[in-house]
Structure 1
Amino acid sequence: MGAIFFDLDGTLADTSEDIFLSLNKTLRKFHIKEIDFDVVLSYVGDGVRPLIQKTLRQLGAEEKEEEILKDFISEYRKNISRKTYIYKGNIELIFKLRRKNHKVILTTNKSHKLTVSLLSSLHIVQIFDGIVGGDSFDVKKPEAQLLEKIEQNLKISRPTLVIGDGINDLIFAEKTNSVFLFAKWGFLPQKVKKFIEENKISIEVIEAENPEDAVKKLESIGWL
């Protein structure tokens, strides 16, 4: 029995279009140039404020950060699951992990409130043993101290497995000496692949093309 840290954006679900549309709606309100989809995608993963900061820096409109942040959160909350969908096979993957008595913790840098709102809208809050947002503690991914906070609060046990599509997930796995399941079905697989090639990674990395492939790979190494 171990603990699985399951990422949200780009791993559990494709949230990209709702984030993109909400962000550009906010930018239009403030008469700021809209931003391209691929650029927004590259900014997802650190949380809402970094998303806004990177966007405004790119567009040269940093002076209105607080107003834009507030408006974006409002817009996104209203449209949080309009086009978002869970990747096929993820629900089965999570249930298989839980049937093996692993604790599955949804771990994201999205705020806890927005995360719960999204999971509630998708009717999947109850399938997780815990939900950790970017503001749940005073640290977030990829900091190793996050694992300590989760261990203290959710009583998890080792070994640990991180399932994610981003560099933050990989670094978090390495800092916590966890197995990393690279969700290649996510937002920017080529970015993570390049990071792996250019850096000395000391942990076990398992690549999965989709959630169904993840099941097979985890069965082959004894996690399922």
Structure 2
Amino acid sequence: MAAATIVFDLDGTLVDTHPDLIGTLSWLLEEEGLDAIDLEAAKKLIGHGMRPMVENALKLKGRGFDKAEVDAVFARYIAVYETRLTRESRPFPGMLDALDRLADQGMTLAVCTNKVERLAKKLLDELDMSRRFAVIAGADTYGVRKPDPGHLLMTLRDAGGDPARAVMVGDSDTDIRAAQGAGVPVVAYSGGYTAIPLASLDPDVIIDHYDVLPETVGRLLSSPKV
């Protein structure tokens, strides 16, 4: 039987990045003369990529309807965010142990994120996590991004995986919809940044802690496909 491939989202799934994502966003809004955004409201903007996050944050403040303005503000955001990628961002509790256990079972690990590939790789490098993954695919890697299932399918292809022997792990609608579109079972992590109640998105399983991830993945892989 072919080895399984487990594909992870990054922000809100592998790593709790919101302190640095939103810390930079708060700085940016202040620089633009705008009020800071509420933490919980800002977390719900994460998942579709950094540019949509910045654009939607501006729109919440009555700005961000002009492309040239968004381009300029987003460029400032990226320049500052890159200097503080891992100032406070850390893997979620239990994640590193779960990755070790999955790898020990012979599974291939990969990342499929709506973060720009360069920043995703740099963030994971700084946390000494890149070496764990066969592929780190970002929003700009293939010309499509989640929820387009092609993003996940091409990540699997480059990792040498098979959708029939794969599981997606994510925290939001973009992850779940991409997996469902690709015909890949999906584990949803409840501690992430979803703006939509996870149960309403109908993932295969919802977990609250990564201690149970290896066993959960094993059950999904052994379940007969309908």
When normalised by structure 1's length, the TM-score is 0.89
Q: Would the alpha carbon gap of residues 152 and 162 (structure 1) be closer, same or farther in structure 2, given more than 3 Å must change? A: closer
2:114 matched residue in structure 1: 109
Identity of aligned residues (%): 21
Name which of 14, 24, 27 aligns with 1:25. 27
1:125 matched residue in structure 2: 130
CA distance in 2, matches of 1:139, 1:221: 27
For each residue in 1:77-136, what CA deviation from the matched residue of structure 2 results, as whole angstroms up to 9, or x when unmatched?
111111111112111211222222222111110000110111111111101111011111
Structure 1 stretches of 4+ with a deviation exceeding 6 A read none
1:208 matched residue in structure 2: 207
- Asked if 1 retains the 8 angstrom alpha-carbon contact of 2:51 and 2:74, the reply is yes
SS state at 1:43 partner: coil
1:180 matched residue in structure 2: 186
CA distance in 1, matches of 2:156, 2:218: 25
CA distance in 1, matches of 2:167, 2:221: 12
SS state at 2:197 partner: helix
Name which of 11, 16, 41 aligns with 2:13. 11
Q: Which runs of 5+ in 2 are unaligned?
A: none
Q: Once the 2 structures are TM-superposed, how far is the Cα of residue 156 of structure 1 from its aligned partner? A: 1.8
Q: Would the alpha carbon gap of residues 189 and 49 (structure 1) be closer, same or farther in structure 2, given more than 3 Å must change? A: closer
1:142 matched residue in structure 2: 147
CA distance in 2, matches of 1:76, 1:17: 11
CA RMSD between the two structures: 1.9
CA distance in 2, matches of 1:3, 1:208: 19
Q: Would the alpha carbon gap of residues 189 and 70 (structure 1) be closer, same or farther in structure 2, given more than 3 Å must change? A: closer
- Asked if 2 retains the 8 angstrom alpha-carbon contact of 1:27 and 1:68, the reply is no
Q: Which runs of 5+ in 1 are unaligned?
A: 197-203
Q: Once the 2 structures are TM-superposed, how far is the Cα of residue 219 of structure 1 from its aligned partner? A: 4.1
1:2 matched residue in structure 2: 4
For each residue in 1:162-219, what CA deviation from the matched residue of structure 2 results, as whole angstroms up to 9, or x when unmatched?
00111111111111111111112222386222333xxxxxxx7022110002233234
Structure 1 residue identity aligned to 2:100: F
1:81 matched residue in structure 2: 86
